[in-house]
Amino acid sequence: MYSLFVKNTQTGDIIEFPWSSLKYIEQLNTGKEATITCSHLDLKTIANTYGLDPIFLLTAGLRELWIEKVGQKLYYGVVSDVDLTKDTKGDLQYTIASVGFVSVLAKRRTGPKRVFSATDAGQIAWTLINESQNDSSGYGNLGITQGTITPSVNRDQTYVFASIKDEIEKMSYYQIKNGFDFDIDNNKQLQVWYPQRGTNRPEIVLDDRTLTNWMWHKPGLLSLSNRVYALGAGINGDVAYQQCDSLIDYKAAFKLLEDVVSDRSQASLTNLADMGNQALRDNQSPQIVLTLTHTDGEPDILNYSIGDSLAVTIPEVNMMNELHRVLKRTVTIDANEFAQVDLEVK
């Protein structure tokens, strides 16, 4: 049911790899990662059919990696690290770490100075990626293409050798007011959603019939903020900043609780205000976080995505058919193809 493939980007060769366990994590607006284990003997058998060394198959250049379920991609990324370990029985095992293409953009920079004025935020994100892929070296192309970029808000931005990954994330929903949701999907397309990714899915119900475990968490006093200082560009006492305050009711309930968010390259007061107000929105009152566990098939992981809101019923905390948004999904698959799914929802 579940399969693993590795592609040599230099030759185009695609090899189906043996595996002992698969695990991948996808999180809204922060990308994806995966960890795979396989026996040295199984991988060596595959490598021998190509007359190659197992290490060469995994590390001699950029290697793309993806996980499928019945022919549909669940995860797509690149090999980032490889470990070979020997246990007390003398058995050798490979552990392959992978990151998604959003994380690869952490190794791409904007250049000495790149200025955008009143430009749609999603178009800024795509332009940064596209310009990097067209680097003058001729080796910048990762194969990322433009998907659907829903218009959001216009922003003024100036970048100086900035991390493309970081700068795109700074314009996303959980970091700035009126931010977008984004992903580089399993077709290697940049997708930008506004106002947010996902839909309400009341027909998918997580309750005693489908949940194997759950945890309810309500953050306490030190997780809250009702005044936020958003700090921007400047040095010493000459720093651009915006002070953002919650309504009086929040301060009356918990007293004054202050915090700081910062982007020390940010000169736009509008952007700083949006950063501060976003931090208030997420932290001015306790927001319940649920960790929910189900098995694949109940429901099927192909039937919903990150960003969707699922119906949750937990009578013990007086929660009846409430919609909660999936922010993070971790899928762990063992050698018997039993798949456990852990969700973080709000």
pLDDT at 237: 83
DSSP codes joined into one string, 131-163: HHHT-TTS------EEEEE----EEEEEESS-B
Neighbours of 188 (CB within 10 A): 15
Element (H, E) at 225: none
On the question of pLDDT at 8 being above 90, the answer is yes
Domain count, the chain: 4
Element (H, E) at 203: strand 200-206
Neighbours of 206 (CB within 10 A): 22
d(CA 57, CA 71): 22
Task: Say whether both 145 and 159 belong to one domain.
Answer: yes
pLDDT at 183: 98
Average pLDDT over residues 248-260: 97
Question: pLDDT band at residue 263, thresholds of 50, 70 and 90?
Answer: very high
For 48, left (φ over 0), alpha (ψ -120 to 50), or beta?
Answer: alpha
pLDDT at 77: 98
Element (H, E) at 77: strand 72-86
Question: pLDDT band at residue 140, thresholds of 50, 70 and 90?
Answer: very high
Structural domain containing residue 80: 2-99
On the question of pLDDT at 130 being above 90, the answer is yes
Task: Say whether both 294 and 261 belong to one domain.
Answer: no
Task: Say whether both 214 and 328 belong to one domain.
Answer: yes
Neighbours of 202 (CB within 10 A): 11
d(CA 220, CA 296): 33
Q: Residue 64's domain is classified under what CATH number?
A: 2.40.10
pLDDT at 66: 98
pLDDT at 51: 86
Domain boundary residue, one of 99, 118, 139: 99
Three-class secondary structure of residue 176 per DSSP = coil
Q: Any idea what DSSP says for residue 164?
A: H
Task: Say whether both 88 and 19 belong to one domain.
Answer: yes
How many residues does the structure list for the chain? 346
pLDDT tens figures, 75-119: 999 999 999 999 888 999 999 999 999 999 999 999 899 999 999
Task: Kindly give, in sequence order, each residue whose CB lies less than 8 Å from that of residue 191, ignoring residues fewer than 6 positions away.
Answer: 147, 148, 149, 182, 183, 184, 185, 197
**Cβ pair 94, 54 in contact under 8 A:** yes
Counting residues of the chain whose pLDDT is more than 90, the rounded percentage is 94
Task: Say whether both 170 and 109 belong to one domain.
Answer: yes
Neighbours of 139 (CB within 10 A): 9
Task: Say whether both 143 and 181 belong to one domain.
Answer: yes
Lowest-pLDDT choice from 53-67, 146-160, 238-252: 53-67
pLDDT tens figures, 275-285: 999 999 999 99
d(CA 68, CA 339): 13
Sign of CA dihedral 4, 7, 8, 13: positive
Domain boundary residue, one of 99, 131, 163: 99
d(CA 120, CA 134): 21
Task: Say whether both 26 and 95 belong to one domain.
Answer: yes
Task: Say whether both 57 and 167 belong to one domain.
Answer: no
- Residue 130 backbone dihedrals phi, psi, to 5 degrees: -65, -40
Average pLDDT along the chain:
96
d(CA 190, CA 144): 7
Task: Say whether both 213 and 311 belong to one domain.
Answer: yes
- Residue 56 backbone dihedrals phi, psi, to 5 degrees: -60, -40
pLDDT at 195: 96
Question: pLDDT band at residue 194, thresholds of 50, 70 and 90?
Answer: very high
Task: Say whether both 320 and 204 belong to one domain.
Answer: yes
Domain boundary residue, one of 283, 309, 326: 283
Average pLDDT over residues 200-208: 98
* CA-to-CA separations, 326 to 23, 188, 263, in angstroms, rounded: 18, 22, 27
Task: Say whether both 21 and 139 belong to one domain.
Answer: no
Task: Say whether both 231 and 298 belong to one domain.
Answer: no
Long-range contacts of 317-320 (CB under 8 A, 24+ apart): 317/216
- Residue 334 backbone dihedrals phi, psi, to 5 degrees: -95, 180
Residue type for position 206: L
Question: pLDDT band at residue 146, thresholds of 50, 70 and 90?
Answer: very high
d(CA 22, CA 69): 12
